[in-house]
Structure 1
Amino acid sequence: MPLLWLIVAVLVVSGAGYVLGRSRAVAQAGGDTRALHSLPFYYGANVFLKIVVPAFGLLILWLLIQPLVVDRVVSGTIPADEVREGSSIGLVMAEVTRTAKGMTNAVAEGALSADALRDGSMDPEEVTQALKDAGQVVTSTLTAPIIEAAQLRNRMSATGSVIMSVVVMLAALAGLVWGVRESAPAFRARNVVEQGIRVMLIGAASIAVLTTIGIVLSLVFNTVEFFRLYPASQFFFGLEWAPSFSGRGGASDLGVLPLLWGTLYISLVALAVAVPIGLFAAVYLSEYASPRMRAVAKPLLEVLAGIPTIVYGLFALLTVGPLLVSVFGDGGMLGVSWQGGGRAVMTAGIVMGIMLIPFVSSLSDDIINAVPQAMRDGSYGLGATRSETIKQVVLPAALPGIVGAILLAASRAIGETMIVVLGAGAAARLSLNPFEAMTTVTAKIVSQLTGDSDFASPEALVAFALGMTLFVLTLGLNVLALYIVRKYREQYD
């Protein structure tokens, strides 16, 4: 049974259960709802929950566990000599999974014969060509063990889907019988339903935590897989980034230091633009601007936050880059030849800083406005001027929050991609010249995972190692910011 039909069937049974549970409770009370412990709605809702929760719970668990079991069984059938040098069983299984999906789609489109696959009358070259003709992604000529493993995976998945449908429907019917039998006038339906809703709300609140754990685990597993194929010392301490998809990465240099340097360099330039402008704008809006000016200026400033990053990238490529070349390029206004092209660290940094101004200004403005007015009045009462009050009272009191706003802007800068791709170029280099083209970790993650990348190679898996590196870097920034916030809070409490 298709998954959508299974979900619809469970919902139909649950709807019928709601009606049956409600009707049975009212009927046993002789039609007098006052004889019921709870409102009739709760008796129907009790049956509904006893059908939906077990059925959908089993469905979700089955969908999560079945691929793991199938892959474990299939991987045990792959010969050891099929794992080529520079590869691993995990990468071979990725190829098996890709082949299995391609065969399913090719059979559905009529490009492959299911009978020919079943009796083995097609050799691997014919299967490979048929998959390519059907538009399926095939990175190399498939071998007989890969094809057999893919067929086994499809058979086990199909059998598992049938068993899943039966088990889920049996759970739904069992919940229906259980809930309807409980629909008696003395049954505390309201207590049971409210307790069930509470458990569901707790589960919903846990989704964010579980999602975070899932993201981290996916990064960790793929990063470990990458380091099985590529030395960690060369990745973390290599000074050159030169991936090559030939020979399964044998000739590739995947040093992350040039990418980290480009990421930090562009982010520093962006923060050097955004922090002063954003902080000064926040001070003006909160301490100097009239209510009418504030009502106009703050929304206009926050419009910058709603502009898509691709538009900022085009602005960097078509406007800021040529402008910098006309000033700092060969034959420019200053008579120097520092910048040879429009793509450079300064181009991306300036435009990214403009994009970050609303993050700094809006948050800092809210934080400064949260400083109690009594602190300002006390400063004025001691004879301080407005500027002295801002420097010596307001800003120190708001400093922890301002540090948080700067941290948010730094995290946004580190994770930016499109402005870097269009404004900074794609050159991975270690240089102090801000007028040279460089690139960042996020830009290389995109480039490594787009196109016809072979996921059985270190060049594709390196994207997860880069993502894990960014995750650790951001976590370090958070820890540093927390230390700074606590230090200054102790000083100004």
Structure 2
Amino acid sequence: MSTDDITNDLTRNTENAPQELLTRTFFFLCAALSVVTTVSIILLLVTEAAKFFTVTAPLMGIEGPTASIVDFLTGTTWQINNEEFGVLALVSATLMITIGSAVVALPLGVATAIYLSEYADPRHRAVLKPALEVLAGIPTVVYGFFALIYITPAIQMVLPGVGTFNLISASLVVGIMIIPMVASISEDAMSAVPDELRQAGYGMGATKFDVSTGIVVPAALSGIFSSFILALSRAIGETMAVTVAAGSRAQFLNPLNPAAYQEGALPMTAAMVQLLLGDITGGGIAYRSLFAIGLTLFVITLVMNVISDFVAQRYREEY
């Protein structure tokens, strides 16, 4: 490089310095805003939830009725009027909906991703993938009414004893909701697998199915597993669909009992909506229980996201 070229580069960099500084500052402020918003939400949940528990409420200047943190985490009865706040009654319903939606979404999502990545020609993929992503954009309350009007009557034709509000319907509709997330992220992970691995499999005499399931899926396993965790986190935090389809009766159910899915129950998100729409006093124990539920939900989803990041980093393939 000649001296004139070096001089021209330095001049150009000097001229662009204010623009570069402005761009860097803008992107930094965007990142800082995201961090500040997250920290603010966490502080709000922790501060308000602390007013709910007997141990920490005096430190927050709260003198009214409070709840034991042990009873909250281990209790199986949730009755606001009787001041019984056993969150396991809500967690069990959330867990059952998550398990049911996983049974629906995970195999269908992975199968859809395999088809889009390995079998569909570019013309079909250009139509199917945007259509799948449109499915993810449907308002969740519409899914709830779809479950109530179509899915529940279909279930009642097979199981006449199922009520209008039940966990089977809620699980199915949430599973349908998260299929696009599983399929889209898994398909991106499979598409990132180098074609050399596929060609090596074909060179060994493998069929299309053998290459798809024996080479591509294992190579993209970290991305597929991350899609599972993110989709299930979405299922745990789903609100409107389960509020409409699952019912409003808080009861502790055994997630391992298939018959329990025929009953209606109150998941954590629906319980928060019920409390907000009910006649609760701002600053009272029922109002503060909202934040205790929210903090519990936040911790569960945080743990799942941490697990997802760990698995993605631990088993990620470098190509």
Aligned to 2:40: 214
Amino acid at match of 1:226: F
The partner residue of 1:233 within 55, 70, 77 is 70
Aligned to 2:221: 399
Aligned to 1:488: 315
Matched ranges for 1:19-418 at <5 A: 198-199=24-25, 201-227=27-53, 228=57, 229-244=66-81, 251-329=82-160, 337=161, 339=162, 341-418=163-240
Aligned to 1:68: none
Instruction: Give distance in 2, aligned partners of 1:197 and 1:284.
Output: 41
Cα 1:190/1:369, change in 2 over 3 Å:
closer
Question: Secondary structure of 1:456's match?
Answer: coil
Q: Between the two structures, name the one with larger relative contact order (CA 8 Å, sep ≥ 6).
A: 2
On the 8 A contact 2:178/2:231 being kept in 1, the answer is yes
Structure with max Cα Rg:
1
Instruction: Give distance in 1, aligned partners of 2:241 and 2:310.
Output: 31
- Cα drift, residue 443 of structure 1: 0.7
Question: Secondary structure of 1:306's match?
Answer: coil
Instruction: Give distance in 1, aligned partners of 2:47 and 2:153.
Output: 43
- Cα drift, residue 297 of structure 1: 2.4
Cα 1:459/1:405, change in 2 over 3 Å:
same
- Cα drift, residue 296 of structure 1: 2.6
Aligned to 2:241: 419
Question: Secondary structure of 1:449's match?
Answer: helix
The partner residue of 2:271 within 426, 433, 444 is 444
- Cα drift, residue 192 of structure 1: 7.7
After TM superposition, the score normalised by the length of structure 1 is: 0.56
Cα 1:189/1:262, change in 2 over 3 Å:
same
- The C-alpha deviation readout for 1:355-410, integer Å capped at 9, x for no partner, is 11111112211211111111111111122222111222100110111111111111
- Cα drift, residue 218 of structure 1: 0.5
Instruction: Give distance in 2, aligned partners of 1:424 and 1:204.
Output: 38
- The C-alpha deviation readout for 1:233-281, integer Å capped at 9, x for no partner, is 111111100001xxxxxx3101100101110110110111011111101
Instruction: Give distance in 2, aligned partners of 1:370 and 1:273.
Output: 25
- The C-alpha deviation readout for 1:281-307, integer Å capped at 9, x for no partner, is 111121112222222322333321121
Structure 2 residue runs without a partner (length 5+): 1-13, 58-65
On the 8 A contact 1:324/1:342 being kept in 2, the answer is no
Amino acid at match of 1:224: A
Q: Is 1:461 aligned to 2:292, yes or no?
A: no
- CA RMSD for the aligned pairs? 2.3
Cα 1:190/1:284, change in 2 over 3 Å:
closer
Cα 1:189/1:373, change in 2 over 3 Å:
closer
Cα 1:278/1:452, change in 2 over 3 Å:
same
Instruction: Give distance in 2, aligned partners of 1:293 and 1:189.
Output: 48
After TM superposition, the score normalised by the length of structure 2 is: 0.84
Q: Is 1:475 aligned to 2:302, yes or no?
A: yes
- Cα drift, residue 210 of structure 1: 0.9
On the 8 A contact 1:260/1:440 being kept in 2, the answer is yes
- The C-alpha deviation readout for 1:64-103, integer Å capped at 9, x for no partner, is xxxxxxxxxxxxxxxxxxxxxxxxxxxxxxxxxxxxxxxx
Structure 1 residue runs without a partner (length 5+): 1-187, 245-250, 330-336
